[in-house]
Structure 1
Amino acid sequence: MKYAKIVLLIAVAGCFFIAPVPDGLPIIAWRLFGVFAALILGLILQPYPEPTLLMITVTLASLFVLPIQEILVGYTDPMLWLTLVAMMIGIGLKKSGLTRRLGLLLISRFGKTSLRIGYILSCIDLLLATSTPASPARTGGLVYPLAEGVIDAGSSGNQTSRQKTGAYFTLLAYMTSMLTGGLFMTGMGPNLINVKLAQDVLGISVSWPLWTLAALPGFIGFLLTPYLVYKFCPPDAASMTAVRAGAGRELSNMGRINTSELTAAGVFLIILILWSTSTISRIDNTLVAFIGVSLMLVLGVLEWNDLAENKEMWSLLIWFGAILGFSSALTKLGFFNWFAGIIRLLLPSAGAGEYTVLLLVAVLAVLPHYFFVSYTGYVVAFSPLIFSFVAATDVPRYPAFFLLAYLMIISCTLTHYGNALGPLLMEKGYNDKRTWWGVGTLITVMHVVLYLTVGIMYWKLIGLWY
């Protein structure tokens, strides 16, 4: 079975070396996309673990398509390092004991069920999304360490229980983060790119309050998501009565908060403030993460061996850096611009009704995301195309804009690599890809339906149908 998968991947890539190169596209870009398409299929079929698959693919691409330095550029991507350093922050918070204390506190005070704690953690992410525009920072560095505390406290040393509980909270953390990132203009950095394009191409102005006001269907989806994830990826125990009592006793046994926990909490607060005020201070989110980890190392919350021994972090570095490199090389070679041009030629810009155009906008906002490992890259490559398409029609501008802006973010849930947070959480080892992709597809389809039904009626009601 393993070798059959390998043969299939080689055949997929090989087709692009044999098939004629389309007009307007360099032969290197065509062949590299063939390797990239085989890689994406490999991530689904998984004949090898992801780091192994990426190492092999990088080697083959460098032998037969383009120089290796063109792919290794992915290892210099700031988003990769933000993701890695956010993991380091989580390691420090966990080592200090702070996340376990907070996890025990959440369970003992509010943890009647895992579902209830899921809603609490989701609401924390929702609050942070108002001011923290990077999901690896917000969820990976701030919210998920709290979830890990709950996972540790709730599993009671039982590996099976830990696996199922970890799978629920990890998958929920990712899905929630993508949803909250779309509910506020400041929830994701690329949201501002879409706002600027809306002004330049469509001639409309979108403010922070208007963005959130128009997102009512998204808030409905947000409220449904913890329950849906709970049903399709259930934790070990629906009722946590016994666990809750045990957590209370363990919290009492821990005694008063110690110096290491206080120090970690102080660093955590500094990071939160700097991330929340980054639009004012202009301090890069990745630099903030480095500041946080440096403080933890200097103050003794972390030691270098704590980081060096973390296999999942370095595994993430290998495979996600490589996949970012492929995406960067394809962008540089003009593949995505060519692809956008092909789609533009296929779109019916004249004679299409309003609802047909909005349906096409929804499809364009979602389906191409399977080929992108960077939400920013997705927005940069496809938003201008879709805005240009909308501008050539008579469809109401505001509904088209919000449909595009919200669904582009939500479509990050389709895969575990659609946003930098996904690889960070997948490397925790709790989730399988089949469940992740299945739940992500469900969440995406649900929001497409919500925005095309409730959204359209709601936007008409509040006077945005123009």
Structure 2
Amino acid sequence: MSTATPAGKTTATPTDDRKRAKAKKSMAIKVAIIAIVTLAIYFLPVPEGVDPRGMHMTAIFVGTILGLILQPLPTASVALIGLAVAMITGTMNVKDEALQGFSSSSIWLIVAAFFIADGFLITGLGRRIALIFVRMLGKSSLGLSYGMAITDLILAPATPSNTARAGGVVYPIIKSLATVNDSHPESDESRKRLGSYLSLTSVQVNTITSAMFVTAMAGNPIAVGFASDAGVEISWGTWAIAALVPGLVALVTMPWVMSKVYAPTVKKTPEAPSQAAQQLHEMGKMSSKEIIMLVTFLLLLVLWISGSALGVDATAAAFVGIAILLCTKVLTWKDMAANSGAWSTLIFFSVLVGMATHLNDLGVIGWIGDTAAAAVGGFSWPLALLILGLVYFYVHYFFASNTAQIVAMYAVFLGTAIAAGAPAILAALVLGFIGNLIGGLTHYASGPAGVIYGSGYVTTSEWFRVGFIASVVNIIIWGVVGTAWWMVLGYV
């Protein structure tokens, strides 16, 4: 609160001063923690087989990741500070090492897909798709959740920002449906009518759709890049086919499971289809820009799926899609320039991938992998992969971003699994899928989780309880059904 002066100016109240002081103290504590951890690692002895700069790079990398977790500054700012420290200390030279991440085709695929996703939002095609499925399946709360799940699945291949998909397309529809059914976050009785169930289910569904396509979550192409560094090549089609059966089974199962463990009090929603039909009527026929967006999206799917056979790189295909949208004015440069998320992602990922690549070049990743492999060396590779997978899944309680965990841990865990004897392609895919399924574990686990938690429909205690149950369901489905499918594909 602040008070107005006679001159029309505002003066801070004691409450404002206390808040600012508390914020400064919190910032100071976070910075101190990051600095202490970074310096402690920086001066550790260099292990045998690791480049002398190895521990310095490890310290800066860990400090940067810790900064991403504690968030004393925005993500891109933290990454740039880490890069500056690496350059000024000589840990990364400017010419060959510091900026190498900015040339990664995987990162540019993510950036390109951000712009393609803009097309769904700007043209209204994403909203139209959601309303169509509400009209078809929306007579019950369970039907509504399946409608949202199908919408998410359709949009997923071209939406690397799972936050944009969940928050920009799906959640506004959920909010509207909840409001119409008198379900508001202000009271337990009201929010549990419908809003809580649809909201939390949408997050769990989002983790599954994100796991089904390389381009459905920003961290997936990074995982593919790390796998390639380890000698494992994963195409867009390889990932999608491997995820197809367990993903579809999980999508069918999860809304039903959520209806049992987190049941809404409103089971029937007979008005929803007519409301969706009315909104579709108000939208009118598909505009020319929507049609262009749809055709471009279908073309991209064809190129991504058959790219290896046609000799078309996934990133090249994405830029062809952008070119079409620009030429037809579905997108403008102004739209692209205004997408701060895409440009922040470019900076954030490029810096971290460059650091992670440098760690590998310096021998740090190999040393950590060998050390970890020794810890599970006495186990058979299936048991070793199971242990590594469970640790990789539940360590996410300590992370506030799927991508931060992928950058920090994917390469190490993959190297450890391969060293333990696991088939390389299987280990790379399993860890890749897990990197998405962890997104609903807590209310801070991912961007979509933050959107839904901020809505007020789900309490913290509910989230931890239901999030854990959902994680067990996903582990069982992807572990059992997935293993059977991967045996058919010859990966096991």
TM-score norm. by structure 1 comes to: 0.70
Name the counterpart of 1:386: 417
Name the counterpart of 1:201: none
Name the counterpart of 2:135: 108
Describe the shift of the 1:345–1:413 C-alpha distance in structure 2 as closer, same or farther (beyond 3 A): same
8 Å CA contact 2:296, 2:324 repeated in 1: yes
- Of residues 326, 350, 353 in structure 2, which corresponds to 1:297? 326
- Of residues 21, 32, 51 in structure 2, which corresponds to 1:7? 32
Paired AA for residue 160 in structure 2? G
How far apart in 1 are the matches of 2:346 and 2:424?
Answer: 35
Alignment of 1:409 with 2:432, yes or no, is: yes
Name the counterpart of 2:11: none
- CA displacement 1:72-128 (0-9 Å, x = unmatched): 221221111111111111111222222222222122222345654544565677799
How far apart in 1 are the matches of 2:413 and 2:275?
Answer: 51
> What is the RMSD computed on CA atoms of the aligned residues?
5.0
Alignment of 1:287 with 2:287, yes or no, is: no
8 Å CA contact 2:204, 2:470 repeated in 1: no
- Of residues 155, 163, 177 in structure 1, which corresponds to 2:210? 177
Q: How does 1:13-92 map to 2 (within 5 A)?
A: 13-64=38-89, 65-69=91-95, 70-92=97-119
Name the counterpart of 1:396: none
SS of equivalent residue, structure 2 residue 160: helix
SS of equivalent residue, structure 1 residue 27: coil
- Give how far 1:9 is off: 0.8
- CA displacement 1:307-336 (0-9 Å, x = unmatched): 111222222222222222211221222211
Q: How does 1:62-461 map to 2 (within 5 A)?
A: 62-64=87-89, 65-69=91-95, 70-112=97-139, 116-120=143-147, 122=149, 137-140=157-160, 148-156=168-176, 169=202, 172-178=205-211, 221-226=250-255, 242=271, 244-349=273-378, 358-365=382-389, 367=391, 383=414, 385-390=416-421, 404=427, 407-413=430-436, 426=447, 430=451, 446=473, 448=475
Paired AA for residue 412 in structure 1? G
How far apart in 2 are the matches of 1:62 and 1:7?
Answer: 21
Paired AA for residue 361 in structure 1? L
8 Å CA contact 1:197, 1:387 repeated in 2: no
How far apart in 2 are the matches of 1:241 and 1:40?
Answer: 48
Q: What percent identity do the matched residue pairs reach?
A: 24
Paired AA for residue 57 in structure 1? G
8 Å CA contact 2:116, 2:322 repeated in 1: yes
8 Å CA contact 1:93, 1:99 repeated in 2: yes
Moved more, 95-104 or 64-73: 64-73
TM-score norm. by structure 2 comes to: 0.67
How far apart in 2 are the matches of 1:366 and 1:243?
Answer: 40
Name the counterpart of 2:5: none
Paired AA for residue 44 in structure 2? A
8 Å CA contact 2:410, 2:431 repeated in 1: yes
- Give how far 1:285 is off: 0.9
How far apart in 2 are the matches of 1:280 and 1:359?
Answer: 35
SS of equivalent residue, structure 1 residue 390: coil
Name the counterpart of 2:22: none
| Aligned positions, number | 419
- Give how far 1:364 is off: 2.7
Describe the shift of the 1:20–1:236 C-alpha distance in structure 2 as closer, same or farther (beyond 3 A): farther
- CA displacement 1:264-322 (0-9 Å, x = unmatched): 22212211221222132121111111011100110121111111112222222222222
Moved more, 235-244 or 280-289: 235-244
8 Å CA contact 1:168, 1:229 repeated in 2: yes
How far apart in 1 are the matches of 2:152 and 2:448?
Answer: 20
Name the counterpart of 1:203: none
How far apart in 1 are the matches of 2:38 and 2:407?
Answer: 26
How far apart in 1 are the matches of 2:264 and 2:81?
Answer: 35
8 Å CA contact 1:121, 1:143 repeated in 2: no
Describe the shift of the 1:127–1:155 C-alpha distance in structure 2 as closer, same or farther (beyond 3 A): closer
8 Å CA contact 1:362, 1:403 repeated in 2: no
Moved more, 327-336 or 292-301: 327-336
- Give how far 1:6 is off: 1.0
8 Å CA contact 2:41, 2:59 repeated in 1: yes
- CA displacement 1:236-278 (0-9 Å, x = unmatched): 9987655543322121122222222222222122112212221
- Give how far 1:446 is off: 5.0
Moved more, 336-345 or 232-241: 232-241
Moved more, 233-242 or 20-29: 233-242
- Give how far 1:28 is off: 1.3
Paired AA for residue 390 in structure 1? G
Structure 2 unmatched runs, 5+: 1-25, 186-190, 215-219, 233-237, 455-459
How far apart in 2 are the matches of 1:367 and 1:68?
Answer: 36
Moved more, 380-389 or 264-273: 380-389
